[in-house]
Amino acid sequence: MKKLSTKQTVSLVLVVAVGAVGFWATTANHAKPAEKAAATKPKAALTVTTTQPHSDDWPLTLSANGSIAAWQEAVVGSELGGLLLAEVNVNVGDVVKRGQVLARFTNESVAAQVAQQKAAVEEARAALSEAEANAERARTLANSGALSGQQTTQYVIAERSTKARLMSAQARLELEQIRLRQTQVTAPDDGVISSRTATVGAVAAQGQELFKLIRKNRLEWRAEVNASDLLLIKPGQTVKLRVTNGVTVDGKVRMIAPTVDAATRNALVYVDLPTPGSAHAGMFGSGQFELGHSAALTLPQSAVVMRDGFSYVYQLRKDDKVAQTKVTLGRRVGDRIEVLNGITAAMTLVAKGAGFLADGDTVQVVAAPASVSAPAPAASAAPLALK
């Protein structure tokens, strides 16, 4: 074989190198389109699940705040003065019946006055018997001339005077008997004792308060409602009241106050509460007046993000990017929330993971777990207030 020269050897190496470069370029140009697309696609910022707005029939309510108070509170006081309180039979919280004896005063002095007045009545009755007999004889002898007309008239007047004295003595006896009964302090109505100032051994003044009584043990919620919302409330409407001890109480509107406070522009709405119940007079309560039902476009609360005092949702676009959308919220029932504007029922929105997204982020969508489902509105829901 003929030996190649140095120049020929260099030329051959260059030809081989150029061929190798051309082969590599041809192979790279024929790479799979999917691999090229994968190499240029932005990396997903987060893996999320999606949801669509759901139309529900939700309760329409009006929220208000107010205090719980006694329907009517009776003051039980001392009708006598200067007597010693000998016995107290009830305490705060005791349920009492109309006419039940709550306390007793010492009654010896009053009983003695009753006995004295009874004797005065008997004395007046005896005097009347004598006066009636004298008057009757005077009338019999008037025609015989045995008595003058003046004497007859005197006997008749004496009869009338004695009769009047008897009536006066009987009236004073009744008064003393009333005072004797008043030494026993009785309940004016059925109810529960809410306050007690009576103390055994104290000398009460006339008219001094001894007890307070919640009549019939009835309570009411006095809700403060803005004047512009009064037309929405009618007597008989159902109210769900949540009191400070966490208990929910069902009530019913009894009446609406005829006047509006000039300073606050609020009016009181009186709501009857069940008896007995878990609420107590003096508690603060927040309640909802049930006005009816209305349609609501709802989302899971996890789909709504609060930022800078505003509410947002993230709409999923076709390129797997999300667009931040500002929304206005309404009522809440369970774990779902009403969206008043900003979305439509056809939108696909991020359900979970929205709190970590920003406008324009690329996401990877995965299927939601099988157990996740849109819950139906609960009967005990507490929607937002209407304003």
Chain Cα centroid distance, residue 137: 80
* pTM for this predicted structure: 0.63
Per-residue pLDDT band at 139 (split at 50, 70, 90): confident
Q: Is the pLDDT score of 125 beyond 50? A: yes
Per-residue pLDDT band at 71 (split at 50, 70, 90): very high
Amino acid at position 178, single letter:
I
Q: Is the pLDDT score of 194 beyond 60? A: yes
- Average pLDDT estimate for 184-213: 94
- Average pLDDT estimate for 174-180: 94
Token pair for 19: 């061929």
Buried b (16+ CB within 10 A) or exposed e, 167-201: eebbebbeebbebeebbebebbebbbbbebebeee
- Do you know the residue count of the chain? 387
Q: 73-212 sits in which CATH class? A: mainly beta
Give me the half-sphere count of Cα atoms (radius 13 Å) on the Cβ side of residue 2: 5
Q: Is the pLDDT score of 346 beyond 60? A: yes
Amino acid at position 207, single letter:
G
Q: Is the pLDDT score of 15 beyond 60? A: no
Q: Among 127-141, 186-200, 245-259, whose mean pLDDT is lowest? A: 127-141
- The percent of residues in the chain predicted with pLDDT above 90, rounded, is 52
Per-residue pLDDT band at 378 (split at 50, 70, 90): very low
pLDDT of residue 318: 84
On whether the 43-71+218-387 domain is CATH 2.40.30.170, my answer is yes
The contacts of residue 250 (CB under 8 Å, 6+ apart) are: 238, 239, 240, 241, 274
Q: What is the DSSP string of 255-310?
A: EE-SS--TTT-EEEEEEE--SS-S--TT-EEEEEEEEEEEEEEEEEGGG-EEETTE
Q: Among 27-36, 85-94, 246-255, whose mean pLDDT is lowest? A: 27-36
Q: Is the pLDDT score of 117 beyond 60? A: yes
pLDDT of residue 375: 46
Bigger pLDDT: 127 or 143? Answer: 127
Q: Is 69:170 a contact under the CB 8 Å cutoff? A: no
**In the predicted model, what is the mean pLDDT of the chain?**
84
The domain segmentation of the chain, as residue ranges, is 43-71+218-387, 73-212
Q: Is the pLDDT score of 386 beyond 70? A: no
The contacts of residue 357 (CB under 8 Å, 6+ apart) are: 45, 46, 48, 305, 314, 322, 324, 350, 363
Bigger pLDDT: 350 or 353? Answer: 350
Per-residue pLDDT band at 18 (split at 50, 70, 90): very low
